[in-house]
């Protein structure tokens, strides 16, 4: 498998993270500009943002948690030249689950649907890590 085939889902995940960041920044800027939130209300990370801004911010912060494990395993796969179809497939399953999670989180925000999306992605990523780790340990690389 090509390097780009494994990096494409990573690029999509990074794109999602930036979209959420700029969306969050826009909502927060509007809240400050309109006077709905005062700088002193949030200067120490107090939870005083409007609900929508908080919802998008929480989704953005989710992109800085579990996806880090995707970035690390992809880097290790590329460094060790162990890329294969299964890694590409699992990376896409993870990223598609993250996209679905973000859609639910910033949309109708059903906690159970979010949990399913999170679970599917986490399982795909855990399997990806297990295959990589076992392959490295067995090969002695």
Q: What is the pLDDT along the chain (141 residues), one digit of tens a residue?
A: 899 999 999 999 999 999 999 999 999 999 999 989 888 888 777 788 999 999 999 999 999 999 999 999 999 999 999 999 999 999 999 999 999 999 999 999 999 999 999 999 999 999 999 999 999 999 976
Q: How far is 112 from 29, CA to CA, in rounded Å?
A: 30
Residue 14 Cα to chain centre, angstroms: 8
pLDDT at 75: 98
Q: How far is 123 from 119, CA to CA, in rounded Å?
A: 6
Q: How far is 22 from 141, CA to CA, in rounded Å?
A: 41
pLDDT at 141: 66
- Structural class in CATH, domain 3-139: mainly alpha
Boundaries of every domain in the chain: 3-139
Work out the number of other CB atoms within 10 angstroms of the CB of residue 41.
14
Do residues 53 and 27 make contact, with C-beta atoms less than 8 angstroms apart? yes
Q: How far is 137 from 119, CA to CA, in rounded Å?
A: 26
């Amino acid at each position: 498998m090509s390097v780009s085939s494994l990096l494409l889902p990573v690029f999509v995940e990074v794109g999602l993270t930036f979209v959420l960041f700029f969306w969050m920044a826009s909502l927060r800027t509007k809240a400050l500009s309109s006077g709905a939130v005062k700088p002193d209300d949030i200067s120490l990370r107090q939870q005083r943002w409007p609900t929508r801004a908080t919802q998008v911010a929480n989704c953005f912060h989710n992109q800085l948690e579990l996806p880090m494990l995707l970035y690390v395993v992809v880097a290790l796969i590329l460094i060790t030249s162990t890329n294969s179809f299964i890694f590409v497939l699992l990376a896409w399953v993870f990223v598609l689950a993250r996209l679905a999670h973000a859609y639910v989180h910033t949309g109708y925000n059903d906690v159970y649907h979010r949990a399913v999306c999170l679970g599917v992605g986490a399982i795909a990523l855990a399997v990806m890590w297990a295959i990589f780790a076992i392959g490295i340990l067995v090969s002695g690389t």
